[in-house]
């Protein structure tokens, strides 16, 4: 029997598995063999993990990264009924979630019946409590410290302002373009990601006459290189569960300017220049300061390395296995 059946949606959510196995745990990423514990490493895998735990009679842990305000900020979850190995949603006549009602209602059902719910930040824990009525354990995850670390690299010329992340409205990348247009020196903006804001951001860059390139197919090595070549990484998101981009930037030895949202305050603090999300002049001034001064010490992110997260997970797993 395996110790853990680990349900992960991507490689990032599997980062800790080799570290846990090196500490003697047996972790299965695939298959239906019995396990002492089922761990869903995202809301998208929670339903599958619930079915596994129900079938094998083992405890379930669900890791919830965030609950987006546009989807769950108004309204409430629908009633969900277990029918055999399936979950059936009974829609509300009014007052339900605005988006993905079935997904979030089923996630709440699973979270309420899990042995534990883990969250990456204090803010996510507060939101899970307020919207799901479920208590959670704060178990911060990590950045990929095997990839993101300082290394000699030639900086771009003219200086690059880099943003990495989905091109969505809440990521607020337009602020990067508007701030760039206010600077008294020539810069270029590089956006790495894809999403529905792509065309709007291209139009805005043309209107502001800001040199901007949007790249939608950059591999892992290319992202690491982009962090190292950039002069400043700009992270203007209005909402995050953890907020990886400024963490990865600082760990790579590049200055970061980030929105003053709770997860950025919690995890990067003074290692980044934190700015009110909608104050464009403050963004321009902070970016100018970052261009003129050096980066924070990458060691300030040591508590978010893979090995640090491994120890946090082991401490929680010790009570469950």
Domain ranges of the chain: 2-142+305-317, 160-302
Give the mean model confidence (pLDDT) for residues 174-201.
96
Per-residue pLDDT at 278: 84
Q: Would you say the CATH fold of 160-302 matches that of 2-142+305-317?
A: yes
Per-residue pLDDT at 23: 96
CATH class belonging to 2-142+305-317 = alpha beta
Q: Say what percent of the chain tops pLDDT 90.
A: 89
- State pLDDT tens for residues 67-92: 999 889 888 999 999 998 889 999 99
CB 212 within 8 A of CB 201: yes
Per-residue pLDDT at 39: 98
CATH class belonging to 160-302 = alpha beta
* pLDDT range class, residue 153, cuts 50, 70, 90: confident
Q: What residues does 5 pair with on adjacent strands?
A: 28, 38
Q: Which of 76, 74, 72, 71 is nearest to 89 (CA)?
A: 76
CA atoms of 182 and 171, how far apart (whole Å): 20
Q: Does the structure show a pLDDT above 90 at 128?
A: yes
Q: Does the structure show a pLDDT above 90 at 277?
A: no
Give the mean model confidence (pLDDT) for residues 44-55.
97
Tokens standing for residue 89? 């949603």
- State pLDDT tens for residues 8-36: 999 999 999 999 999 999 999 999 999 99
CA atoms of 50 and 109, how far apart (whole Å): 10
């Amino acid at each position: 029997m395996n110790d853990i059946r680990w349900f992960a949606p991507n490689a990032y959510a599997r980062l800790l598995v080799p570290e846990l196995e090196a500490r003697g745990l047996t972790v299965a990423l695939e298959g239906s063999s019995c396990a002492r514990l089922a761990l869903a490493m995202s809301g998208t895998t929670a339903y599958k993990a619930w079915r596994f735990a129900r079938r094998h009679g083992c405890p379930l842990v669900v890791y919830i990264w965030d609950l987006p305000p546009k989807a769950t900020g108004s309204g409430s979850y629908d009633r969900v009924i277990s029918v055999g190995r399936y979950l059936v949603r009974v829609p509300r006549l009014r007052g339900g979630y605005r988006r993905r009602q079935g997904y979030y209602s089923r996630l709440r059902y699973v979270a309420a019946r899990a042995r534990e719910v883990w969250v990456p930040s204090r803010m996510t824990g507060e939101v899970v409590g307020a919207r799901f009525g479920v208590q959670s354990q704060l178990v911060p995850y990590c950045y990929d410290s095997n990839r993101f670390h300082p290394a000699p690299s030639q900086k771009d010329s003219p200086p690059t302002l880099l943003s990495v992340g989905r091109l969505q409205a809440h990521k607020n990348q337009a602020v990067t373009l508007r701030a760039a247009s206010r600077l008294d020196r020539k810069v270029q903006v590089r956006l790495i990601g894809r999403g529905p804001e792509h065309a709007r951001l291209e139009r805005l860059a043309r209107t502001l006459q800001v040199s901007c390139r949007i790249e939608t197919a950059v591999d892992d090595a290319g992202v690491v290189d982009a962090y190292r070549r950039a002069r400043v990484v700009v992270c203007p998101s209005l909402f995050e569960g953890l907020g990886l981009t400024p963490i990865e930037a600082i760990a790579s030895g590049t200055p970061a300017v980030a929105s003053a949202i709770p997860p950025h305050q919690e995890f990067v603090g003074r290692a980044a220049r934190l700015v009110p999300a909608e104050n464009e002049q403050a963004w321009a001034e902070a970016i100018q300061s970052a261009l003129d001064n050096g980066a924070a010490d990458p060691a300030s992110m040591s508590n978010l390395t893979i090995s640090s997260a491994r120890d946090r997970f082991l401490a929680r797993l010790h009570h469950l296995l």
